[in-house]
């Protein structure tokens, strides 16, 4: 039995891990999916990592799965606990001494996003709503539930301080890319993964939240990573 540690994105709670958690538990595994203190003005990345480590407790056989902004926290957790595997799921990849607030400019995100929007014919000069930008491949009932009840205030504190690790933690790492994501376009993400992690990402269907739209396939992918170690 493995313990899957699921780390959520910014400005949300852990609810969206529910379908994936059920699929992993059906396979006989334990799941830890804590709510991060993202609405607390005093909480930075260190406190996010503290929350995850505390939730793990004495569990072993750890597979850490970090989604989106959770990519800044996942490696910090793996630096503190004996994880067997880190899976970056459509996640931001930090660089040493780079703050999360600097990531967008340093990676060229905005230009890449503008080009991706242009290619798919998105209206210029306007910000798409969450359903279109982030949840377009999510079942409508789950997307509506997410938007109505599970978005949270995101305090700015974690975005202003440098990422504290001098190098990537010594843990096997995989990157799983959601090919249909409009928020983090696939072509942009492929380049960042290659540049910062030194390997090509794997790809699966989905929008920014494949744990809602494709939970069984995501569980299969995670299990394949785990058993292939």
Structure tokens at 19: 């379908």
Q: How far is residue 29 from each of residues 1, 26, 48, measured CA to CA in Å?
A: 5, 7, 24
CA angle in degrees (0–180, nearest 5) for 18-61-90? 50
Q: Max Cα separation, the chain?
A: 50
Coil vs helix vs strand at 137: coil
pLDDT score, position 125: 47
pLDDT score, position 129: 86
- pLDDT tens per residue across all 229 residues of the chain: 999 999 999 999 999 999 999 999 999 999 999 999 999 999 999 999 999 999 999 999 999 999 999 999 999 999 999 999 999 999 999 999 999 999 999 999 999 999 999 999 886 545 578 899 999 999 999 999 999 999 999 999 999 999 999 999 999 999 999 999 999 999 999 999 999 999 999 999 999 999 999 999 999 999 999 999 7
Q: How far is residue 99 from each of residues 52, 64, 89, 199, 204, measured CA to CA in Å?
A: 20, 22, 20, 23, 29
Q: Which residue's entry shows tokens 């958690």?
A: 21
Distance of alpha carbon 160 from alpha carbon 134, whole angstroms: 24
pLDDT score, position 126: 52
Q: How far is residue 124 from each of residues 114, 120, 181, 184, measured CA to CA in Å?
A: 8, 11, 18, 17
Distance of alpha carbon 70 from alpha carbon 93, whole angstroms: 9
pLDDT score, position 124: 54
């Amino acid at each position: 039995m493995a313990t899957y540690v699921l780390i959520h994105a910014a400005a949300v709670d852990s609810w969206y891990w529910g379908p994936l958690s059920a699929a992993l538990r059906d396979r006989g595994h334990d799941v830890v999916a804590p709510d991060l203190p993202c609405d607390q003005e005093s909480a930075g990345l260190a406190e996010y990592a503290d929350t995850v480590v505390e939730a793990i407790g004495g569990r072993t056989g750890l597979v850490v799965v970090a989604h989106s902004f959770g990519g800044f926290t996942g490696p910090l957790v793996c630096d503190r606990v004996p994880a067997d595997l880190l899976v970056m799921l459509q996640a931001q990849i930090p660089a040493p001494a780079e703050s999360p607030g600097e990531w967008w400019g340093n990676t060229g995100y905005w230009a890449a996003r503008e080009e991706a929007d242009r290619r798919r014919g998105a209206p210029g000069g306007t910000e798409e709503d969450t359903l279109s930008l982030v949840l377009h491949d999510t079942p409508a009932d789950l997307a509506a539930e997410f938007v109505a009840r599970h978005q949270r205030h995101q305090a700015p504190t974690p975005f202003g301080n440098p990422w504290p690790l001098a190098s990537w933690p010594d843990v096997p790492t995989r990157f799983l890319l959601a090919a249909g994501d409009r928020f983090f376009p696939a072509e942009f993400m492929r380049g960042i993964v290659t540049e910062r992690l030194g390997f090509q990402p794997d790809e699966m269907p989905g929008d920014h939240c494949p744990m809602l739209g494709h939970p069984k396939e995501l569980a299969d992918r995670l299990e394949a990573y785990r058993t292939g170690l």
